[in-house]
A = this chain, B = another copy of it.
Amino acid sequence: MNVLIVYAHPEPRSLNGALKDFAHDRLTQAGHTVRVSDLYAMNWKAVLDAQDAPGRDAAAPFNPSLESKHAFASGTQSADIEREQDKLRWADAVILQFPLWWFSMPAILKGWIERVYAYGFGYGVGEHSDRRWGSRYGEGTLAGKRAMLVVTTGGWESHYSARGVNGPIDDILFPIQHGVLYYPGFDVLPPFLVYRTGRMDEARFAATREALGERLDTLWSTAPIAFRPQNAGAYEIPALTLRDEIAPGSTGFAAHIEQAVTAGALSDA
Q: Which residues of A contact B (CB under 8 A)?
A: 10-11, 13-14, 40, 46-50, 61-65, 99, 101-108, 110-111, 113-114, 117, 137, 154, 156, 158-159, 161-168, 171-172, 174-176, 178-180, 230, 235, 238-242, 250-256
Contact = CB atoms under 8 A, between A and B. Distances in A.
Given A11-B63, A47-B46, A114-B102, A242 B163 contact: yes
A180 B64 CA distance: 26
19 contacts: A46-B47, A103-B175, A105-B110, A106-B110, A158-B241, A159-B239, A159-B240, A162-B251, A163-B242, A163-B250, A163-B255, A164-B240, A165-B230, A166-B179, A167-B178, A167-B252, A168-B251, A172-B175, A175-B175
A254 B167 CA distance: 9
A65 B10 CA distance: 12
A65 B14 CA distance: 12
A241 B163 contact: yes
B166 A50 contact: no
A47 B108 contact: yes
A111 B110 CA distance: 9
Contacts of A62: 10-11
